Amino acid sequence: MKDYILDDDIRLPREQNAQSAKEIIRLKRSYSELHPKVTNGRKAIWWLVGLQVLGMIVESVQYNFEFWIVAINAVVVGIYVAAGIVAIKKPKIGFIIVLILLSLMQILMFIGDPLSAIKGILWRGIIAYFVIVGLSAVNEYFKVLRGLKEYDIKVEGSELV
């Protein structure tokens, strides 16, 4: 089985020495580990948007589409969508926005309705896990992208640096 990250048939010029080749392989290996973490963090934001919209619909139906219920949920969904869009170019900012809002929503749910907060903590915890993993990987991810850019190696995400 061919590894397309490491075996991409890039031939180094003769000027490149063995140390450069080792560095490129190290960077590509790091990229292949970090890229899925950041990508999964971005995907988790969109899962959160979908689940929030589903919750908004259910809650709106329960309360006969009262304006303030729909308005609050629409604002929350709007913030999550904005964070998802921001996370495309600046994942760290998008992840932080989502974690802050997710934590705030969970605290407010514990205060307002502890039973429903306990029911929703599992899926929020799973989403928070993927966002936290993405957030922890994002700094090293950008260092690796910058390193690959120095060697003129293009990979998915190269346009971010």
User: Rounded CA gap, 7 and 51, in Å?
Assistant: 38
Indicate whether 38 pLDDT > 80. yes
Contact 41, 133 (CB under 8 A): yes
Indicate whether 148 pLDDT > 80. yes
Confidence bin at 6 (pLDDT 50/70/90):
low
The DSSP secondary-structure symbol of 1 reads -
Indicate whether 7 pLDDT > 70. no
Tens-place pLDDT, residues 77-123: 999 999 999 999 999 999 999 999 999 988 888 888 888 778 778 88
Indicate whether 26 pLDDT > 80. yes
Token pair belonging to 3 = 């590894």
* Residue burial 85-109, b: 16+ Cβ < 10 Å; e: rest: ebbeeebbebbbbbbebbeebbeeb
